[in-house]
Structure 1
Amino acid sequence: MGFTKNDAYNYIEKTKREKIFHGDANAAIIYLEGIAVSDPMCMARYNLTARQTTIFGFGLVLDESVGSYTWLLENLLEGMCNKKPSVIMTDGCDSMRAAIKAVFSEATHRLCAWHMEKKLTSNVKDGGLQQLFTMWLYSNMEIEEFEAEWHTTVEEYGLDDSFWAKETYNKRRMWVNAYLKDKFYVEFRTTSRCEGINANVKKFLNSRHSVLEMVQNVKLMVQKYRNIELDAHFRSIHINPVITTCLDSLERFVVTVYT
């Protein structure tokens, strides 16, 4: 009897499923329980304000439901001694939005500007309307000014029956800069750094990994970011800064007080 390539793949998948059923999932749970106590390094970074990309923790969820995300955020909060973030930025997932509202009700939730513009180009082809939207997204205007312009635009472009327009307007406090300009975001407007982390995670994972291997590889990825941070810390201490203005003495003084 001969075997085809598909037979081989089917056998591998069957073996993998049996492995998960008979112990891989339990092994992953035991491994996670061993590191479930909050990592002191993660806690230290969580309590600092910096522009260095860092990871506070990771978790496995069954699905992308409100319940799963709520559980994840509640566990993060518990692990970080119940210190709540003041600002959160996401790509606009409705389930995550609901979970954030439930767990971090006092935090300002801002939607990623890049994702908002991507949705705009998918729903609007008129260049003039796209320019208006971009202005509302970034311009330092007043709330009353935005509201007046929005209603005029809806009438001018016939958007009264547009589901996208209604949904976008209902979320205006999460993306219109007029509503957000008094909040401190350290100039971040997109989730690009998170996207960068996601890209790195994919380098450590593939479909042939078991659950335990996946968790262990994510741990390696976290260590990679810690090494990058250590390298940046070393450079900030031992390497002379690049002077970018004519105020040499002032810049060099700033280096001694800001890392």
Structure 2
Amino acid sequence: MHDAEAGFGIRSSTTRTCTLTGEVTRKEYVCCKQGYALTSNVSCKRRRRGSTRTGCKAKLAILKVKDKNKYIVVRFNEVHNHDMTTVDKVHLLRSHRNLTESAKVYSADMSKVNIPIHKQLSLLEVQVGGLENVGLVKRDVYNYLRDVREEVIGHDAEQLNEHFMAEQEKNESFYFKMEVDSEGRMGNVLWSDARSRRAYGFYGDVVVFDTTFNTNRYGMVFKPLLGVNNHRQTVLFACAFLTSGTTDSFVWLLEEFKKSMPGEPPKMIITDQDTAMSKAIVVTLTTTFHRYCIWHILNKITEKPGIGECFSEMCKCIWGMDKKEEFDAKWEEIITNNRLKNHAWLSSIHAMRENWVPSYVKHVFSAGMSSSQRAKSCHSFFKQYINRKNTLMDSLYILRELLFHEDTRS
């Protein structure tokens, strides 16, 4: 009876090959329940599983006939010592599953946009009319993608560079810069396509930059540099992978950003209060006004002990005062009435009010932006598709599909 009808799995047991030609001369196949599971006296908290081995003696052995191009059956035992797998579960047996080439391509494409494997299987199940017709389970896909990622390790940076060079050959306006150390290891990377560079020429007066998003398996920091167009839509100027969030990395990033963009440096750059970024801006963007994200500051006010009671008053002071003198007077009044004169953090943000308070920064064009929330929203969007298991090429492909591909951008 055919194994699919009998309801049992098979596995390869013994293989003998010719030492001279490497040709298989004998092959044995056994029931998947052949032998016995190894036992251990070591206590373990792992979930206990039912026994899968029963010492089944069912076997098929074939032998190659000498000097003839054919095999003969030399041993066959069809008797099993266990119940057969039921028809509704036989498709789950390992020997009955097969990850076809089309399934590999399908899973690879789905994984490029980080569609979870359980959703991939659900889609396949609908397409083929039931789970029993899919021919695989989640573990098969996990193992395949793991093997693919392992093959990429060690060649990821090289593939990334080749991809960028190919893009540059297609369009000479595509810009990229990749750091390589003396040992040939990849460092920081920045890239921008022709459309993004052209957008900077129109809308590059204000750049929004956030310093809090990590991605990919190498722990590199993903940094998009954003702006806003005349329709109040977020536009992307460039993207970067940084090896760290240090001042040196940010200096490299901003210098390369200036080289890649047409025209003058931005009039304003909006960031959070990252110290390393602040130092880098002083060094590289000497004519650019550095504005701190007001959302970060207001959010911190609510978290500081003893300040929450007067938060509403402070908001009215920050947003409602048109002149610097009015803001300073009202701020002093609030601080005095709430006995916050000696509050070190409030004193520190008041000292840098020229970089975030609206009445102090309104003399510089800001395109209607006062925070880096556009970057935060962008990061939130990316996190739906990107995770720390991604290789550089995975991340690049996803970003290209989401942001750079001409068919997906208006």
TM over 0.5: yes
Match of 1:110 among 291, 295, 298: 291
The superposition leaves residues 108-142 of structure 1 with CA deviations (integer Å, 9 ceiling, x where unpaired) of: 22222222211110115545521232123312432
Task: Spell out the pairing of 1:51-66 with structure 2 (5 A cutoff).
Answer: 51-66=232-247
The superposition leaves residues 19-42 of structure 1 with CA deviations (integer Å, 9 ceiling, x where unpaired) of: 43x222332233345556252211
The superposition leaves residues 174-226 of structure 1 with CA deviations (integer Å, 9 ceiling, x where unpaired) of: 111120122322322232322221122223312222122112221222136x6
Higher strand residue share: 2
CA 1:100–1:227 in 2, change beyond 3 Å: closer, same or farther?
A: farther
1:24 partnered with 2:178: no
Q: Report the alpha carbon displacement of residue 168 of structure 1 after superposing the two structures with TM.
A: 0.8
The answer for unaligned runs of 5 or more in structure 2 is 1-36, 39-45, 48-138, 168-173, 176-191, 204-229
CA 1:65–1:14 in 2, change beyond 3 Å: closer, same or farther?
A: farther
Q: Report the alpha carbon displacement of residue 166 of structure 1 after superposing the two structures with TM.
A: 2.3
2:349 alignment partner in structure 1: 168
What letter is aligned with 1:47? G
1:90 alignment partner in structure 2: 271
Aligned length: 225
1:217 alignment partner in structure 2: 398
CA 1:155–1:197 in 2, change beyond 3 Å: closer, same or farther?
A: same
Task: Spell out the pairing of 1:125-140 with structure 2 (5 A cutoff).
Answer: 125-126=306-307, 129-140=310-321
What letter is aligned with 1:39? D
Higher helix residue share: 1
Match of 1:68 among 249, 255, 278: 249
| TM-score, normalization by structure 2 | 0.48
Q: Distance in 2 between matches of 1:136 and 1:18?
A: 58
Match of 2:372 among 173, 191, 206: 191
The superposition leaves residues 65-104 of structure 1 with CA deviations (integer Å, 9 ceiling, x where unpaired) of: 1111111111111001352111222232222222222222
| TM-score, normalization by structure 1 | 0.73
Contact 1:113 1:190 in 2 (8 A): yes
Match of 1:41 among 165, 179, 195: 195
Larger radius of gyration: 2
Where 1:58 maps in the other structure, the secondary structure is: strand
Q: Distance in 1 between matches of 2:237 and 2:249?
A: 18
What letter is aligned with 1:194? A
1:177 alignment partner in structure 2: 358
The answer for unaligned runs of 5 or more in structure 1 is 231-259
Q: Report the alpha carbon displacement of residue 162 of structure 1 after superposing the two structures with TM.
A: 2.2
> What is the aligned-residue RMSD (CA, Å)?
3.2
Q: Which is bigger in relative contact order (C-alpha 8 A, separation at least 6)?
A: 1
CA 1:14–1:170 in 2, change beyond 3 Å: closer, same or farther?
A: farther
The superposition leaves residues 8-59 of structure 1 with CA deviations (integer Å, 9 ceiling, x where unpaired) of: 99xx989957843x22233223334555625221121001132321101101
Contact 2:302 2:308 in 1 (8 A): no
Where 1:110 maps in the other structure, the secondary structure is: strand
1:235 alignment partner in structure 2: none
Q: Distance in 2 between matches of 1:170 and 1:29?
A: 45
CA 1:227–1:117 in 2, change beyond 3 Å: closer, same or farther?
A: farther
